[in-house]
Amino acid sequence: MPEQMVASSMSKMLQTAAGVFFFAVVLSAGDAAVVEQTFVVTQVRMRHLCNDTLATVVNGQFPGPALEATQGDTVVVHVVNKSPHGITIHWHGVKQRLTCWADGAGMVTQCPIQPNTSFTYRFDVGDQVGTLWWHAHVSFLRATLHGIIVIRPKSVAYPFLKPDMDVPVIISEWWQKDLIKVDKNFSVGGSFDDNPAAAAINGKLGDLYNCSGITEDNFALDVEPGKTYLLRLVNAALFSEYYFKVARHKLTVVGSDANYVTPYTTDVVAVAAGETIDVLMVADAPPCQYYMAALANQPPPPDPQIPVFAARAVVRYTSISSRAQHMCGKEPLMPKMPDQHDTITTVYFHGNLTGLPGHPLLPQIRGHVHERLYLTLGKGSICRDRNKTFCKRGGNPESFEVAYINNVSFHLPEKIALLEARYHGKITNGNSSWNGGMPVEDLPSKPPRAFDFTDKALIPSVPGGKLEELEPTRKATMTRRFGYNTTVEVVFQSTATMQSDSNPMHLHGHDFFVLAHGLGNYDAKRDVKSYNLVDPPKKNTVQVPRLGWAAIRFVADNPGAWFMHCHFEFHIAMGMAAVFEVENGPMPETSLPPPPLDLPKCTKQRADVSFI
């Protein structure tokens, strides 16, 4: 039975409906709609905070246009690149079953669409339902090149109270920098100046920011008392995880990463970089005005600090009687936000997410695990003179910082995309000539050496510090091949090497089940016992806690080359990434078809992607 015919939403709540649902999909398989859109990428001048900034956007909008589809639809997007940069668009969380060529991961699945050329992405949304998003997947350009993807259920209502209205809430950052230069800076260690200028909600910076005293516009949501709003939260920011609250309103989480979750009511939501969270908000507060606010969190010092980023928007009750108005304050009520250094509320928030039980892939997830990977996420350094392995470290300019997985920092192929190289049989491990001088290597199953990964004494990178001996690392194009239909377990371990960030790890082409997470170093003997194999949440992005770990499992059932990386843009630019390659299955319908004829070719003016 093809997986896309099986609703990911099959659940206890839906079990009665499930049979009906399955039937409906089969019956309507012939009349799935085609959602067709044209994305024209241009550079436009936008004025915020007293500054004109050249932003690369789709159809002149920030955030870009919403892509709205219904389960089972086919999506066709013509991307016309009228910007001076090489562009790709990634459909974040769309499984791209047998359409890996349309995944839009720069230099992994395709070469970028060159200026003044175009490319058409075609894919099916399959059985997925809920909120996803699209974004550029080259350099830092996704800062303003992104938008929401809404996939509505086909013939079954939501497994929760039907919302009266659907509201995208896209959290992003506003940058006043040349993002290509920022990316290049991070590929050789980063610069402390390279921070966003502000946070934004739906492209509006909000009234925490001003230009000579004139405040920036707020995004405003008008609500009617008693109505239910489905807020579709997307964290499109490059740098941070955000806490989100609405003053005086409870939020009921009902979905994440286009999968339903067991409803969970809270007053604070944590949305990791790359993640989506769907919440229901009932307009049941006294009819006044309230702020909705998003605040970035970060680890406390000695981690390097960035400025505090927060954005706010307003929820306005309509038809307020003058008597009621009298009872409202002059200013909207502001929610009390967590501290910017609170990195535990997100662990609790994510710990409270469970999926709906009865997913058809769960028996396989509980069964034999073919491959187990333990992946450390950390930072090290390489010598600026690339021919040397010995040089001064600990912050000395003879070396620069990179990020790694299991002590190897990812290098993007330079000449052709990895998927093309694989498809045309050009990859031989160790042969670097197709790839711009970097060997292709297997991602190791475990870190090369064991140490106390979460020892905070490793954070300061100083001469003679505890980290010094562990600091040297190297670059390679790391991939890991999985046989078709194998069950893979990955335990991600955040480390304290040079910093103690959490890591929002994202896998393309597959959803995975998050079985457990914890603080400290993962210990298989102890921690396997905490695995939730009953109703784990199904996700495409997992928030690996600061100084902690997270365990996921997935079935490698989608042939192709799938990028697997941290969704903090600075970490990806520094190399916290690898590629999971999934082999073809035995049948034509389990094999990747040939590339589309208009797949962009790499040219000299490749990508504006960094190659270090």
Ligand X SMILES: *[C@@H]1O[C@H](CO)[C@@H](O)[C@H](O)[C@H]1NC(C)=O
- Where along the sequence are the contacts to ligand X (CB under 6 A)? 49-51, 84, 115-116, 176-178, 181-182, 185, 191, 193-194, 197, 210, 213, 215, 348, 351-352, 364, 367, 385, 387, 407, 426, 428, 431, 433-434, 447-449, 469-470, 472-474, 485
Q: Which is nearer to ligand X, 39 or 134 (CB)?
A: 39
Alpha carbon distances (Å) from 404 to 8, 167, 378, 469, 565: 33, 37, 5, 16, 10
Round to whole Å and give the CA distance between 298 and 293: 17
For strand 228-235 and strand 276-282, is the pairing parallel, antiparallel, or unpaired?
A: antiparallel
Give me the least distance between CB of 52 and ligand X, in Å please. 9
In the list ligand X, Cu ion, none, the entry touching 70 (Cβ below 5 to 8 angstroms by class) is none
Q: Which is nearer to ligand X, 69 or 289 (CB)?
A: 289
Round to whole Å and give the CA distance between 564 and 557: 15
**340 part of the interface to Cu ion, by CB under 5 A:** no
Residue 427 is encoded by which pair of tokens? 């990859």
Give me the least distance between CB of 428 and ligand X, in Å please. 4
Choose, by CB under 5 A, the member of 256, 500, 503, 521 that binds Cu ion.
503
Quote the longest CA-to-CA distance of the chain.
Answer: 76
Q: Which is nearer to ligand X, 120 or 485 (CB)?
A: 485
Give me the least distance between CB of 115 and ligand X, in Å please. 4
Choose, by CB under 5 A, the member of 90, 422, 546, 571 that binds Cu ion.
571
Determine what percent of the chain falls in helix, strand and coil, rounding each to the nearest 5: 15, 40, 50
Radius of gyration for the chain, computed over Cα atoms and rounded to the nearest angstrom:
23
Alpha carbon distances (Å) from 267 to 328, 492, 543: 21, 28, 19
Three-class SS state of 244? strand
In the list ligand X, Cu ion, none, the entry touching 426 (Cβ below 5 to 8 angstroms by class) is ligand X
In the list ligand X, Cu ion, none, the entry touching 503 (Cβ below 5 to 8 angstroms by class) is Cu ion
In the list Cu ion, ligand X, none, the entry touching 213 (Cβ below 5 to 8 angstroms by class) is ligand X
Round to whole Å and give the CA distance between 116 and 584: 35
Q: Which is nearer to Cu ion, 151 or 373 (CB)?
A: 373
Stretch that binds Cu ion, among 193-201, 501-509, 582-590, 597-605 (CB under 5 A): 501-509
Q: List Cβ neighbours of 423 (8 Å cut-off, separation of 6 or more).
A: 592, 594, 595
Round to whole Å and give the CA distance between 507 and 487: 15
Q: DSSP string spanning 402-434?
A: EEEETTEEE---SSS-HHHHHHTT---TT--TT
Tell me the backbone φ, ψ of residue 407, rounded to 5 degrees: 70, 20
In the list ligand X, Cu ion, none, the entry touching 252 (Cβ below 5 to 8 angstroms by class) is none
**291 part of the interface to Cu ion, by CB under 5 A:** no
Give me the least distance between CB of 27 and ligand X, in Å please. 23
Q: Which is nearer to ligand X, 227 or 474 (CB)?
A: 474
In the list ligand X, Cu ion, none, the entry touching 598 (Cβ below 5 to 8 angstroms by class) is none
Per-residue contact flags (x/-) with Cu ion for residues 459 to 498, judged by CB under 5 A: ----------------------------------------
Give me the least distance between CB of 180 and ligand X, in Å please. 8
Comparing CA positions, the residue from 275, 310, 365 lying closest to residue 554 is 365
Give me the least distance between CB of 2 and Cu ion, in Å please. 34
Q: DSSP string spanning 66-89?
A: -EEEETT-EEEEEEEE-SSS-B-E
Three-class SS state of 499? coil
Binding residues for Cu ion restricted to 220-259, rule: CB under 5 A: none
Give me the least distance between CB of 247 and Cu ion, in Å please. 31
Interior angle at CA 493, CA 488 and CA 498, nearest 5: 145
| Residue least distant from Cu ion (Cβ) | 566
Q: Which is nearer to ligand X, 61 or 116 (CB)?
A: 116
**128 part of the interface to Cu ion, by CB under 5 A:** no
Give me the least distance between CB of 410 and Cu ion, in Å please. 12
Give me the least distance between CB of 238 and ligand X, in Å please. 13
Round to whole Å and give the CA distance between 297 and 339: 8
In the list Cu ion, ligand X, none, the entry touching 571 (Cβ below 5 to 8 angstroms by class) is Cu ion
Give me the least distance between CB of 488 and ligand X, in Å please. 12
Comparing CA positions, the residue from 352, 403, 365, 360 lying closest to residue 552 is 365
Q: Which is nearer to Cu ion, 223 or 542 (CB)?
A: 542
For the purposes of burial, counting CB atoms within 10 Å of the CB of 338, is it exposed (0-12), middle (13-18) or buried (19 or more)? middle
**Number of residues near Cu ion (by CB under 5 A):** 5
Interface with Cu ion (CB under 5 A): 503, 566, 568, 571, 576
